[in-house]
Structure 1
Amino acid sequence: MLASVHIDSVAKLSKLGAVAAYAQVKQSHRNASLNLLWALEGALTGLPWQVVAREYRTSLLLALEQHQNAKVPISGHKRKNG
């Protein structure tokens, strides 16, 4: 799944962070579960995904929501030329 969004090294994953990497995967793989987010964060922190899911669930979900909201284009009023 990560390779399909061009995340092919630990360095790329680390640079993006677990939340942004998960969001990219989720865009192309709608069936990606939150277990992937827990696993990515675990890979970056050295914690088992189960610990991440239990102890960092809320903060990761909030970060994911903020990331998704930041990616939503803000629609404004269109001006007519002339």
Structure 2
Amino acid sequence: MKDAPISTLPGVGPVTQAWLDEVGIHTVGDLQALGSVEAYRRLKFMLPRRVSLNALYGLEAALRGCHWLHLPADVKSALQRQGKTIDEALRKGAAARCSLG
């Protein structure tokens, strides 16, 4: 299963698969090794306006073999916190690149 393409996971469609390919995540094993949060971080930094928290839920759910709506509330809360941290880092990074000194 680790060598299986990402598309074999539930809820991973062609758009998400293409995005994951672009950030170097090609197989189920790649995603398992990185985890949903790191995969989301890579996607968010690549496509900040297109990737939402739902992508993080979807990646986590795909790894668990369920629909993202069925993730337990405590898991969603933890993912929200981690997603917020990533979003803040992205905003700070953009501000740092635009500052003069």
Tell me if both proteins adopt one fold, taking TM over 0.5 as the criterion: yes
Structure 2: tracts of 5 or more residues without a match: 1-18, 93-101
Shift in Å at residue 5 of structure 1? Answer: 0.3
Shift in Å at residue 60 of structure 1? Answer: 1.1
1:57 aligns with 2:86: no
Q: What is aligned with 1:38?
A: 57
Shift in Å at residue 63 of structure 1? Answer: 3.2
Provide Cα deviations, 1:25-53, integer angstroms capped at 9, x if missing partner: 1000111011111110011111211122x
Percentage identity across paired residues of the two chains: 32
SS at match of 2:22: helix
Residues in 2 aligned to 1:36 and 1:63: alpha-carbon distance in whole angstroms: 13
1:9 aligns with 2:27: yes
Structure 1: tracts of 5 or more residues without a match: 73-82
In terms of Rg, which structure is larger?
Answer: 1
1:48 aligns with 2:60: no
Between Structure 1 and Structure 2, which shows a larger proportion of helix residues? 2
Please give the TM-score of this superposition, normalised by the length of structure 1: 0.71
Residues in 1 aligned to 2:76 and 2:61: alpha-carbon distance in whole angstroms: 12
Please give the TM-score of this superposition, normalised by the length of structure 2: 0.59
